Structure 1
Amino acid sequence: MRFDLHVHSCFSKDSNSDIDSILIHAVKNGMNGIALCDHNTVEGCFVAVERVNELELDLMVIPSIEVSSAEGHILVLGITESIDAHMSAEKTIEKARELGGTIIIPHPFKKISHGLGYIEGIDIDAVEVINSRCLTSNSNIKALNAARSLSIPGVGGSDAHIPQMVGRSYTDIDSKNSTVESVLSAIKEGKVQAGGSLTPTHVVMKQMFSGIERLFKRRLIG
């Protein structure tokens, strides 16, 4: 089964992707499922699950979140409750475990995107070793080497902030069956293979400037 384990929607402040477009592009781009990982909220996940059913799409949505810890971003898959931002990475992970989450460190060495900067000595299930939203492959290669050295499963995610980029990077998951629980268990067991490619540079730059513009407008409005 092929999953994009890192997708953002309009419920993230730096994305304006509507849920329906994300779901439709995920199916179009060959995904069996996605993890909707909006910044510091799971609100969009409820909408996505409802819309999948209403649109009768053959697509699994894993309720997830990208938490802004004090040290950097942390993905938590398989939870339906938000986790407070700005706690330490250790406290964030503790809370994620309390909620039964599967913990992935995204873009750990991509400083501009609030990468954690390390993966050693923390209780995690996987590392994002292919993140499409990088201008070069350097940080992905560093993440891959670090994950391999620590025998931590490596996964892929597009980090898509526009629907067209959903599935640009992905994770092939050898799951026993098509349930969220089985998929998350397979990730923890390392039954995964990351794949994909970088988002075209002009698309990344356009997304970055659009995100800055949206944040600036929000601050002006108050």
Structure 2
Amino acid sequence: MLRADLHVHTLASDGDDFERVVAYAKLRGLDAVAITDHFKPASPKLAERAEGMLILPGVELEYEVGHVLVLGVDERFNPPPTLPELADECRDCGYVTVLAHPAVAILSRPGRLERLRAEARMLDAIETFNSMYPIFGLMVRLSRELAASLAMPETGGSDAHRASSVGRCYTVIDSDPSLDDVLAAIARGRIAPQGTPSPIAERLRVAVGALRRAPLKISRRHAYLAAPSRYFRERCTR
């Protein structure tokens, strides 16, 4: 069994130094970490800088359904403009898709729950344990109810923006310690989420930061949805 934090940010977006992330992951007894920066995919070459730690290169994107984690990305990844196209491309390439922190959408857009359910079905798994959930118990319960109603696998991730939060929530994976085996285990549901919330001060800091960045995030989202491939290439060169 492996322990993997499947939702972590680095300095490539709004997170912490990669080496610090790896150091905290080792302190927390993790075997693997997914690097999922906003709109900027992690390079598979990061694994060369993380001796003793399996790195899952990923990215966090945004669609109408909410935020989507794509795990296992490589040089072939070319994000399409719609969720159905994303789901098809990821399955063709062997990537894994996860609906991130769905309780945010459930609580902020309660009238769109059926649409959320319909779109979530296109993905491989649902993140039910997120250590940055402000109301942790309630939001985990809502996320798990969604996953159970769709009979979908559940993942756990810290959503860490500071290295000290890495591993607060994680996923137990019945897999060998290789990228392909881990991705296959997630897609097949050989996983279980576990964890606890990050300290309330950190959760509030991340929540306030998200609100402050909302106008920038909206402009980025519009630019991304208008021409995702071009936006993706531009971000990769920065």
TM-score, normalisation: structure 1: 0.83
CA distance in 1, matches of 2:108, 2:180: 29
CA contact (8 A) 1:41 1:83 kept: no
> Which secondary structure state, in structure 2, belongs to the residue aligned with residue 6 of structure 1?
strand
Corresponding position of 1:140: 140
Give, in angstroms, the shift of residue 172 of structure 1: 0.5
Larger helix percent: 2
Corresponding position of 1:76: 70
> Which secondary structure state, in structure 1, belongs to the residue aligned with residue 123 of structure 2?
coil
Decide whether aligned partners of structure 1 residues 7 and 30 sit closer, same or farther in structure 2, where only a CA change above 3 A counts: same
| Deviation readout 1:45-102 (Å, 9 max, x if unpaired) | 34532311xxxx31100111111124321111111245447x2322332332343211
Alpha-carbon RMSD = 2.8
CA contact (8 A) 1:40 1:83 kept: no
Decide whether aligned partners of structure 1 residues 131 and 34 sit closer, same or farther in structure 2, where only a CA change above 3 A counts: same
Corresponding position of 1:125: 124
CA contact (8 A) 1:4 1:170 kept: yes
CA contact (8 A) 1:108 1:119 kept: no
Corresponding position of 2:32: 33
Opposite residue 132 of structure 2, the aligned amino acid is R
Decide whether aligned partners of structure 1 residues 152 and 132 sit closer, same or farther in structure 2, where only a CA change above 3 A counts: same
Decide whether aligned partners of structure 1 residues 17 and 84 sit closer, same or farther in structure 2, where only a CA change above 3 A counts: same
Alignment of 1:55-204 (within 5 A): 57-81=51-75, 82-84=77-79, 87-111=81-105, 118-120=116-118, 122-136=121-135, 137-175=137-175, 177-204=176-203
Opposite residue 3 of structure 1, the aligned amino acid is A
Percent identity over the alignment is 29
TM-score, normalisation: structure 2: 0.78
| Deviation readout 1:119-147 (Å, 9 max, x if unpaired) | 33532211111111111122221110121
Structure 1 gaps, min length 5: none
Structure 2 gaps, min length 5: 220-238
